Every structure is written in C-alpha cells, then in structure tokens.
Amino acid sequence: MKTLPQLVIVVLIGAVAVPLAARFVPGSRPWLDTVGLLQPLAAAGLVPEEPAADARPPGAGNPGAGGVPVIAGAVRIEALQDVVSAIGSARGVQSVELSFEVTGRLDDVVVAPGDRVVAGDVIAQMDAETAQLVVGRSRLVLADARRTVDRLEQLSASGATTGLQRQEAELTLRTAELALQSAERDLANHRLLAPIGGYVGLIEAQVGDLVSPSTPITRIEDRSSLIVEFRVPERLAAMVAVGDPVQVTAISTPGDVIDGRVAAVDNRVDEASRTLRVQATIGNADDRLRAGMAFQINLVFTGGDYPAVDPLAIQWGADGAFVWVVREAKAARLPIRILQRNAGTVLVEAAFEPADMVVTEGVQALRPGADVAVTAPRS
C-alpha cells in the first residue's frame, strides 16, 4: 500500500523535472530526443522548439556557429622551466678577522665600529716602548759592527789583520743587520693595519687590555658585493655551472629580487646530505645588505618546449586530467599529463593537433562530438 503513493510522487517529480531540464539545460535535449520525449514536450508547448536550420543567427555559416557556445583559444608553446629554490646565507666578498701578531698592552684604538677603511689604515696600536728600545739598541750594534769592518779593511793594506778577523767582523755585521730588521718588524707588529678595504665591525678589546695573537680585535668586511652560499640537490650537479644566473631575495625583504651569478661550484657532493655547495655573487652598491643575512635563491633551468593551456581549461575525470578541444567544429575530450604549473599557464603533455582550440569556458554543456560555436577569449 505504501508503494503506490511513492510511485505517484516520483511520477510528479519527473513530470516537473523533465520539462525544466529540457528548457534550461541544452545538453539534455539529445537524451530526451533519443528516448522519444522531446517532440511530445515541444508539441505540448512545455519546451521551446529547436530553431530551424535557415533561422540560425548570423554567422551560422561558419563551422560550429550553431552549436554549444564556448570560449576557446589556440594552443601555445612554452619552454619547460625547472625552478630550484634554496636558502643560503651571505658573507662579504672579502672578510678578515684582525688580531695583533705579538703580545702586549693595547694602547689605542684608532677606528670605531662601522667606520669605512682602506687597505693600510691603522686600526689599533699597542704599547711599543720596549720594542722601540730594542730597535735603538740594534741600530747601535749595527753601527759598531760597520765601524769594525771599516777599520779592519784599512789595516788589511798594511798586513796588520788576518783574513779570519775580517770574516768574523763581516759575520758580526750581517748578524747586526738581521737583528735590526727583526726589531723593526717587531715594532711594526705593534700597529694593527687594515689588510683590505671595508667596514669595521665591533671592537672586541678595550684600551689597557693585555692582548695576544689569539685575542680578536675586530673584523673588516668588504660588502661592496656579497657571496651567498647555498646547497642544491645532487641531481643538479651536472646542470649548475659558473656564470649561471640566479635570482636572490632577502628573507627580510621578500619583494626585492636581486639578480646574481653563480661564482663557484664545489668539486664533490656531500655524502651525508647528498647536496652540492654552490656560491653566487650579488651586488650591494647601495650597502642595504649585510653579511650573515638569509636569502632565498632561485635557479631556473630551461628544458624542452611543451603545449601551454589556461588553468581554467583543465578538467578532471575518473581517468585523470583532460581538456576539451575543438576539432572541425566539434568537441573532443583529450587526456593530458600535467608537467608544470605556472602563474598563468599549465604546461602539459598531450596529443594536440595543429588546428586544435582549447576550451576555457562553457565546458559544462559539452559532450564528445557535440557541435560548438567558438568565441575568442576575452583580452
């Protein structure tokens, strides 16, 4: 007894849904025509009749002008680009940590942190009183050794000296000369000079401190350009080369892209991480960047050419991705394999024909073999 009311409800729903589908869903008309319902519904005035062939709007003479309206465009060809991103840190193109070569008391610091220096500028000085005394004494010894050699040369003419005496005097002279050179070198080491040009870092020691060769005084960094070191996967070992362009972005300023070049590539892959060390150089003429900053590095490797389609054209089915193409004014479903997604296009691998047009809008009403009316994409 319950079955009869349910059947009545189903019949009523079908009686309402079928005419609505025929009126508002053009894709349902072929199915209704196949089951023999289209003509009775049209005769009853429930659905509008199909326009006659001679009543088609202007442009019906063009292939597909009277079919399902779609927006489609020609297939473009673009190069496949393999973009590899890495994170690296920067250092100055030259960087030197300074310390004295001798032990002594720090007497003066000439520069301040952040100062710009050139090679040869004095950075700091050590108390050199003892070293100056040693230099003065060495000069006196040298002068006495020279006088002795001169006196023996004068006496050698009269035979009053022997050859052995002259040799000993000359050896004493050479020894005195070396002692003076050593003393002068020791005195010079009491002054700390900048070996390169750049910016002075923090001063680690203070005046009056007892410093030695193991005591760091400061660091000089030449940051006119920076070296960014990063690592790439070992699969790129044969692809990356010196001179390759890179795009570098400071993590602190993500919108500022800096162009650089690969400057050096390591000669071996790290066995633990299976990565290859790479160094790239970037300019820093405006001195906005600092050593130690973190950077994102993008390397772009260009591959082969592949068809590029609009992202809106890609559809998904039980068998994977596909696109609708227009061939001889009819719709065809073409399977694709997605290779790369870019900002405005998707590179795919598919069996496109030269005259194919890819549908981007109107795909909902398409079926294989349906007539289509193509409209060019909006600019």
Burial of 171 (0-12, 13-18, 19+ CB in 10 A): exposed
Q: Which pLDDT score, from 0 to 100, does residue 51 have?
A: 47
Residue 220: how many other CB atoms lie within 10 Å: 25
Q: Regarding predicted confidence, which is higher, 367 or 62?
A: 367
Query: Left (φ > 0), alpha (ψ -120 to 50) or beta: where does 289 sit?
Result: beta
> Where along the chain do the CATH 2.40.30.170 domains lie?
85-91+219-302
Helix locations, the chain, DSSP H = 3-24, 29-34, 38-43, 129-156, 163-188
Backbone angles phi, psi at 26, to 5 degrees: -60, -30
Please state the CATH superfamily assignment of the domain spanning residues 85-91+219-302 in this structure. Answer: Efflux pump adaptor protein, beta barrel domain (2.40.30.170)
Q: Looking at residues 295-299, what average pLDDT do you find?
A: 92
Instruction: Look at residue 213 and tell me whether its pLDDT is greater than 80.
Output: yes
pLDDT (tens digit per residue) in 89-112: 999 999 999 999 999 999 999 999
CATH number of 68-75+310-375: 2.40.420.20
The percent of residues in the chain predicted with pLDDT above 90, rounded, is 46
Residues 6+ apart with CB under 8 A from 252: 293, 294
Number of residues that this document lists for the chain:
379
| Residues 6 or more apart in contact with residue 250 via CB below 8 angstroms | 256, 258, 289, 293, 294, 295
The count of other CB atoms within 10 Å of the CB of residue 328 is: 9
- State the pLDDT confidence band at 379, using cuts at 50, 70 and 90: low
Residue 219 has pLDDT above 60, yes or no: yes
Rounded percentage of the chain residues whose pLDDT exceeds 70: 81
**Could you report the per-residue pLDDT of 124-156, keeping only the tens digit for each?**
999 999 999 999 999 999 999 999 888 888 877
Between these two residues, 237 and 228, which has the higher pLDDT value? 228
Of 3.20.20.80, 3.40.50.300, 3.40.50.170, 1.10.287.470, which CATH number belongs to 129-188?
1.10.287.470
In the chain, where does the domain assigned CATH 2.40.420.20 lie?
68-75+310-375
Half-sphere exposure in the Cβ direction for 324 (13 Å, CA): 25
Q: How far apart are CA 80 and CA 82, in angstroms?
A: 7
Residues of the chain with CATH 1.10.287.470: 129-188
